[in-house]
Amino acid sequence: MNFNPGDLYGVLPALLLAAGALVLLTSEVFLRPVEPDRRYQAWVAAAFAFAGLWASLAQLGDPAQPLFAGAAVSDGFAHIVAAVVCAALFLSCIVAFSYLESLRATRGEFYALALFSASGMCLLAQATDLVVIFISLEVMSLAVYALCAYLRRGKRPAEAAFKYFILGSFASAIFLYGAAFAFGASGSTRLADLAATVRSGSATTLVYASAALLAAGFAFKVAAVPFHMWVPDVYDGAPAPVTGFMAAGVKAAAFATLVRILVSGYGEGGRWRGLIVALAYLTMLVGNLLAVPQRSVKRMLAYSSIAHAGYLLVAVAAMGTSAPRADAAGALLFYLASYGATVIGAFAVVAIIERKLALSGLGDDLSSWAGLSEKHPALAAAMSLFMISLAGVPPTAGFMAKLTVFRSAIEADLVPLAIFGVITSVAGLYYYLRVVVYVYMVPEAKADAVQGGRLLSAGLAIAGCALIVLWMGVLPGSFAALAQSGAAVFGR
Amino acid sequence: MAEAVLFYLFAAGVLAGGSQVVLRRNPIYGAVSLVGCFFFLAGIYVLLSAHLIAILQVLVYAGAVMVLFVFVIMLLNLKEEELGELRFTFWKVVGLVAVLATAAVIAWRALGPAYPSTGPARDNAILLAAEGFGGVKAVGRTLYLAAVLPFELTSLLLLVAIVAAVVVAKGKI
């Protein structure tokens, strides 16, 4: 049980991201306290995020192996999640650059915290020990809480961050309680030992209580109903680039860990499936219903994020059956990647609009989107593409992702759940297309163009997201193959 | 036998202290109850043969951390009227009933069979405890060898917490 330095290679993406954060924090010390000096930071952060992406993709072909005496694992599933997180961070850094520059809010801590939280996410995807999961979860969450409170202009951001912090701590406590029960049942914090206890069939009540509590803790992080109360306020109050990163990164890491705990820890028997199925029904229904009356695009996207958590839970539920588990895991990974690309793009457009609103002191309302197509046809087209992808219309990534998830649910004998998912996503068309209607068909009340320069970098990020969304929608083959290779660790 | 009596004594102390932390309106009383709770918890650690953890619990938590807590509470200097009114709402009652019911079910169904007072599991635990268990050396070996990843991650967590606190405490950006 000695320390093996080779294990550090297995957590290379997380190490790279943490190193990037340290470089940014240290470099800040040597700077004059003026704004233009700090422009390099977004690009340094993006470079480290890209390095993390490269490292996780480079490790993809390696055989799965346990690290640090079984506390973590280096396998395809974790590498794909790490790649999604790093790509999300890369795009978010570029979006944040123009956003923070125009609001004169560039500080080193912003990118450092984003890098720290991404390193927590990468470790979360690799962790196979409840203690490591808890600490990585806190690394990720603490950094994200602070990012939400980063821009405190007006009342809403502070309220959002505080709400997120209090409720998030509560969810962490619930997770910890479940972890204590799991330790009580199995005498170990390793998921493998927990699986052995579950297989032996002793201490059943304790096992079920721990499974329910651990799932509840992560249901909060993935924004599943009834643990969704924080989502609209936090998504609305946080700066738009942060919201995009949260929606893509936190969701990917939390879903990966939820799957890891349920399948690797409580896999045998799959008695947890009923719980996840119930959560999926509730989440799809409530998320889509509450999104309908929203006038603020950010709040609408928040409820849409809840609804998408429901579709992802369908894939998780499909992993609890005897049907080929790897298919469902592959569908989950594909969905996480496509949702990440779409939502970061959508929030990048929101960031441009929000910046205009912040500079002119207006509130976020659909009417501020009216007539966007006349002044900025490219932005309007991109936003429409992202909305169509979120709604799940071909030929976009969202359609292919929903298709694979529902197909895996049908293979797993969850036909009613798949039908319910299709019906709710059709209902979702209404509120997604309403944005498109405002962008293209509603004339603008009074003319004021999007102010401020530096649209170029945000535009690049939006173009990148749009490219990925179209690519995954039209030619999903290579992405699906990648997701399947990552999902192979869950066997059969 | 004496062990069981001590355990129930300490457990009752932890529960009483912990519930006072939540129920007391004045934060200073809450902080002092928390100190008591920590001391009883240290007693339970001693019963588990975790001597080092028990001492650290008293030194670090009941000592250093609590002093900081009390400082912060004193600096905030909350007035009685700022604490707001104590109200019983429907949902609070529902929450209380849910908590009590969950605790009862867990205590009744789960805890008994999971923590046997006799049998091989307990003998095994006593056997393990003989080998310098709970001392500085054993804890150190566990911390730096078996649990090296969570140990190093904790340092990352503390750094993130410091940076996050600076960001939040800084003036408005």
CB proximity B2 to A under 8 Å: no
pLDDT tens-place string over residues A429-474: 999 999 999 888 888 765 555 555 567 888 889 999 999 999 998 8
Which residues form the domain of B73? 2-117
Kindly tell me the burial class for residue A199, based on how many C-beta atoms sit within 10 Å of its own C-beta (0-12, 13-18, 19 or more).
Answer: exposed
Residue B84 CA to residue A173 CA, distance in Å, equals 26
Q: Judge: B109–A185 Cβ closer than 8 Å, yes or no.
A: no
Q: Is residue B139 part of a domain?
A: no
Cα A123 to its chain centre, rounded Å, is 14
The domain segmentation of chain A, as residue ranges, is 7-490
Secondary structure class of A145 (helix, strand, coil): helix
Per-residue confidence at B147, pLDDT binned at 50, 70, 90?
confident
Q: Is residue B108 part of a domain?
A: yes
The pLDDT value given to residue A309? 95
Nearest CA to CA, how far is A384 from chain B (Å)? 32
Q: Compare CB distances from A68 to B109, B149, B164 and report the shortest one's residue.
A: B149
CB proximity B158 to A under 8 Å: no
Beta strands in chain B (DSSP E): none
Of A263, A361, A279, A363, nearest to A320 by C-alpha is A263
The pLDDT value given to residue A362? 63
Q: Compare CB distances from A205 to B109, B144, B167 and report the shortest one's residue.
A: B109
Q: What is the DSSP string of A286-340?
A: HHHHHHTT--SHHHHHHHHHHHHHHHHHHHHHHTTSSS-HHHHHHHHHHHHHHHH
Residue type, B63: G
CB proximity A185 to B under 8 Å: yes
Q: Judge: A3–B115 Cβ closer than 8 Å, yes or no.
A: no
CB proximity A18 to B under 8 Å: yes
For residue A181, the chain B residues in CB contact (below 8 A) are 106, 110
Q: Judge: A109–B167 Cβ closer than 8 Å, yes or no.
A: yes
For residue B172, the chain A residues in CB contact (below 8 A) are 152-153
Q: Compare CB distances from A71 to B150, B166, B172 and report the shortest one's residue.
A: B150
Q: Compare CB distances from A109 to B106, B153, B166 and report the shortest one's residue.
A: B166
Of A132, A213, A211, A475, nearest to B148 by C-alpha is A132
The pLDDT value given to residue B47? 87
For residue A188, the chain B residues in CB contact (below 8 A) are none
For residue A110, the chain B residues in CB contact (below 8 A) are 167
Tally of domains in chain B:
1
pLDDT tens-place string over residues A38-63: 788 889 999 999 999 999 999 988 88
CATH of the domain at B92: 1.20.120.1200
Q: Is residue B7 part of a domain?
A: yes
For residue A135, the chain B residues in CB contact (below 8 A) are 150, 153-154, 157
CB proximity B148 to A under 8 Å: yes
pLDDT at residue B121 greater than cutoff 90: no
Q: Is residue B38 part of a domain?
A: yes
CB proximity B168 to A under 8 Å: yes
Nearest CA to CA, how far is A439 from chain B (Å)? 31
Of A88, A78, A169, nearest to A123 by C-alpha is A78
Cα separation of the two ends of chain A: 31
CB interface of A with B, residues 53-82, below 8 Å: 67-69, 71-72
Nearest CA to CA, how far is A4 from chain B (Å)? 10
Q: Are strands A72-74 and A65-67 parallel, antiparallel or unpaired?
A: antiparallel
Write down the mean pLDDT value for chain B: 82
Distances (CA, A) of A178 to A82, A84, A211, B105: 26, 28, 7, 15
Q: Is residue B110 part of a domain?
A: yes
CB proximity B59 to A under 8 Å: no
pLDDT at residue B81 greater than cutoff 80: no
Whole-prediction pTM: 0.91
Q: Judge: A2–B147 Cβ closer than 8 Å, yes or no.
A: no
CB proximity B64 to A under 8 Å: no
- The mean per-residue pLDDT over the stretch A66-92 comes to 92
Q: Judge: B173–A206 Cβ closer than 8 Å, yes or no.
A: no
Per-residue confidence at B111, pLDDT binned at 50, 70, 90?
low
The pLDDT value given to residue A443? 80
Q: Is residue B141 part of a domain?
A: no
